[in-house]
Amino acid sequence: MIEKVVEAVLKAGEEVLKIYEGGFSVIEKEDRTPLTEADTLSHGIITQALKGDAPVISEEGDKKPDSLKNFWLVDPLDGTKEFIKRNGEFTINVAFIEEGKPKLGVVYAPALGKLYSAEKGKRARLLDLKEEKEYELPLDGELEGKRLKVVVSRSHADEKTEEYLKRLSKRFEIERVSVGSSLKICLLAEGKADLYPRTGPTMEWDTAAAHAVLLETGGALVSLDGSMFCDGELLYGKEGYRNPPFLGVRSRSLLKEVCP
């Protein structure tokens, strides 16, 4: 199954790069987020490739009723703002959800030439197309003393995250790493960052594919309740496909130290 997904995202990535390297127009969707022809073209390629296996929920497609048990979850172009800025930090994300949990995930960053993939029970992998090498994840080792590398959004700063990091800074030395799109979660999977707190709004298609990769490296993405306390692993197929605030960690052993 994963081979078909990889083939589809590589094909979509090839077409997206043509638009990225050329000229493109930007329109504003009803939710005031940007949309380019790359989003629409990628959506068409991927949904056509997945058609027939299970329902496909895509950011740019018709939204089927909530509470589906098994379905594909697609973000044809995550990080459209980064795409528009031409900083390379945008991704194509495809996940398969089974009983609310991500069982398969592929994240492709076409401009960076990096493809992350994982299936439940198998080692997550990173294919570096520019180096023509493939790696098993994670790449890095354990937490360095009391130093925490914290991933923060390049385009979505918020006050609650700042308050949380201020509390953490009393016990840890905080090093910030800024990056766009689902690459934030992929940095955790690589072992290049330790923590990713997100209190601002996200949708399920923003996180599912990278979440699948993170799970197979021993990490976790846990939801946060209204009081910012850690809850269980983030689940999918929720009403409106909206995520609650969440906390991503490179290793589950970190949860007891960083959970609010």
143 compared with 18, residue with greater pLDDT:
18
DSSP E strand stretches across 17-153: 26-28, 34-36, 56-58, 70-78, 91-98, 101-109, 114-119, 125-128, 133-136, 147-153
pLDDT in tens, 53-81: 899 999 998 777 666 889 999 999 999 88
- The pTM of the full predicted model, rounded to 2 decimals, is 0.93
pLDDT in tens, 136-180: 998 765 666 789 999 987 666 678 888 889 999 999 999 999 999
One-letter amino acid for residue 159 of the chain = E
Mean confidence (pLDDT) of the chain: 90
- Across 93-102, 104-113, 122-131, 222-231, least confident range: 222-231
CB count in 10 Å sphere of residue 199: 19
Domains, in order of start, for the chain: 2-136 (3.30.540.10), 147-258 (3.40.190.80)
- Residue 144 pLDDT: 66
